[in-house]
């Protein structure tokens, strides 16, 4: 039987984990013993039968490759099971080659052992592991302290597994002698989505003020009117959702506005010349033709400003800007 027919008869490569005893039932090797001076991947198989040589290679080499591979990502150590990445060793093919080998007397002959893994499976394992060990990026955030002043938390860069680089580094390790120390897994930087805090609006109802900050620096304080006791301005953390110049006023669905129709831009418009809508439902910052109401609780929930003041504030405001109401 030639080598090709024999390898077809033994159904290709031996999967790792096949018990040596089972080889007698599943594998047929050429008769005879391996000649002196022949080894397989450094394992001396001189004088052995095919079955004994296969068992020795499985015990002395393949079993060691099947041990979990120890790796470390930053300070987190974990292991990767070779079976999970499809480790295979063609022990049968190497033994057949060893049985057929005729070494030069006195010159050792080492038969290579074909070992493979699936890079696609290794990639999937690393992608699955990444969210368990990564260091997430931290966005810049803003909050208010007890004095209603902004406090900024700086952004932080995060770190995740660089999967393509990790596959390149780790794939060869599965088919080589595993190192004693865990293998460092390549990492990549994860950039925060929000890297800085720009301008911030803080409305303090009791003081009837709107304070404009850039980060923690107060740029200007404007006097405002806030909601009446029956229609209080809501407190909370909001943000700007829209801006309109010379808006049309549409009456809200509320008893106090019953029978009132839309009012187009002009001197009598209750919104003045500028509207800055917030994420608080129906609540915005706007001008008012009734300047005498500024400094009091006079509105139906919105924050009123003198028309020159809101026109000064308007270009400094961007959609998404934080709005704190206290």
pLDDT tens for residues 92-143? 999 999 999 999 999 999 999 999 999 999 999 999 999 999 999 999 999 9
* Cβ contact 140:155 at 8 Å: yes
Do 169 and 106 reside in the same domain of the chain? no
Q: How many domains does the chain have?
A: 3
Do 205 and 320 reside in the same domain of the chain? yes
For 305, the token pair is: 């400003």
* Cβ contact 117:83 at 8 Å: no
Do 96 and 25 reside in the same domain of the chain? yes
Do 134 and 65 reside in the same domain of the chain? no
Region 64-87: mean pLDDT is 97
Interval 280-325: pLDDT, tens: 999 999 999 999 999 999 999 999 999 999 999 999 999 999 999 9
Q: Which of 178, 239, 300, 302 is catalytic?
A: 302
Domain span at residue 203?
Answer: 199-325
207-210 long-range contacts, Cβ below 8 Å, gap at least 24?
208/294, 208/295, 208/296, 210/285, 210/303, 210/305, 210/313
Do 173 and 241 reside in the same domain of the chain? no
- CA–CA distance, 188 with 160 (Å, rounded to integer): 5
Domain boundary among 86, 117, 148: 117
- CA–CA distance, 210 with 218 (Å, rounded to integer): 11
- CA–CA distance, 267 with 272 (Å, rounded to integer): 7
pLDDT band at 9 (very low <50, low <70, confident <90, very high): very low
Interval 37-60: pLDDT, tens: 999 999 999 999 999 999 999 999
| Residue-level pLDDT at 236 | 98
The residue with tokens 């418009």 is: 269
Do 152 and 42 reside in the same domain of the chain? no
| Residue-level pLDDT at 249 | 82
- 239 in active site: no
| Residue-level pLDDT at 28 | 79
Mean pLDDT of the chain: 91
Do 19 and 107 reside in the same domain of the chain? yes
Interval 162-192: pLDDT, tens: 999 999 999 999 999 999 999 999 999 999 9
Query: Would the pLDDT of 2 be above 60?
Result: no
- 300 in active site: no
Query: Would the pLDDT of 262 be above 60?
Result: yes
Q: Which of 178, 239, 286, 300 is catalytic?
A: 286
Do 145 and 228 reside in the same domain of the chain? no
What CATH number is associated with residue 206? 2.40.440.10
| Residue-level pLDDT at 30 | 83
Do 233 and 315 reside in the same domain of the chain? yes
| Residue-level pLDDT at 22 | 38
| Residue-level pLDDT at 269 | 92
pLDDT band at 259 (very low <50, low <70, confident <90, very high): low
Q: CB neighbours (10 Å) of residue 290? A: 14
| Residue-level pLDDT at 6 | 33
Q: For residue 92, what are the CA distances in angstroms to 52, 118, 169, 274, 296?
A: 12, 20, 28, 82, 91
Region 207-235: mean pLDDT is 97
Enumerate the H helices of the chain as residue ranges.
3-9, 20-26, 50-57, 63-65, 91-100, 119-133, 163-170, 307-313
| Residue-level pLDDT at 25 | 38
Do 204 and 320 reside in the same domain of the chain? yes
Region 235-252: mean pLDDT is 93
């Amino acid at each position: 039987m030639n080598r090709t027919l024999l390898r077809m008869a033994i159904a290709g490569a031996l999967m790792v984990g096949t018990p040596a005893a089972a080889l007698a039932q599943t594998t047929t090797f050429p008769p005879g013993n391996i000649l002196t001076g022949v080894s397989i991947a450094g394992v001396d198989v001189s004088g052995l039968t095919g079955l004994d040589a296969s068992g020795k290679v499985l015990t002395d080499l393949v079993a060691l490759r099947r041990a979990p591979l120890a790796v470390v990502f930053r300070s987190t150590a974990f292991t990767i099971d070779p079976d999970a990445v499809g480790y295979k060793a063609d022990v049968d093919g190497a033994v057949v080659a060893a049985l057929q080998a005729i070494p030069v007397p006195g010159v050792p002959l080492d038969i290579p052992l074909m070992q493979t893994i699936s890079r696609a499976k290794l990639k999937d394992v690393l992608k699955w592991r990444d969210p368990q060990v990564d260091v997430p990026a931290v966005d810049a955030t803003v909050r208010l302290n007890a004095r209603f002043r902004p406090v900024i938390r700086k952004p932080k860069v995060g770190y995740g597994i660089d999967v393509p680089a990790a596959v390149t580094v780790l794939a060869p390790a599965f088919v080589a002698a595993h190192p004693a120390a865990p293998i460092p897994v390549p990492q990549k930087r994860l950039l925060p989505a929000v890297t800085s805090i720009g301008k911030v609006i803080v409305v303090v109802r009791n003081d009837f003020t709107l304070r404009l900050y850039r980060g923690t620096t107060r740029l200007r304080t404007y006097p405002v009117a806030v909601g009446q006791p029956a229609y209080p301005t809501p407190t909370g953390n909001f943000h700007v959702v829209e801006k309109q110049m010379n808006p049309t006023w549409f009456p809200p669905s509320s008893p106090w506005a019953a029978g009132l129709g839309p009012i187009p831009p002009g001197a009598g418009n209750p919104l003045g010349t500028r509207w800055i809508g917030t994420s608080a439902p129906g609540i915005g910052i706007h001008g008012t033709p009734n300047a005498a109401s500024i400094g009091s609780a006079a509105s139906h929930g919105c924050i009123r400003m003198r028309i020159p003041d809101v026109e000064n504030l308007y270009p400094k405001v961007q959609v998404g800007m934080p709005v704190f109401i206290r």
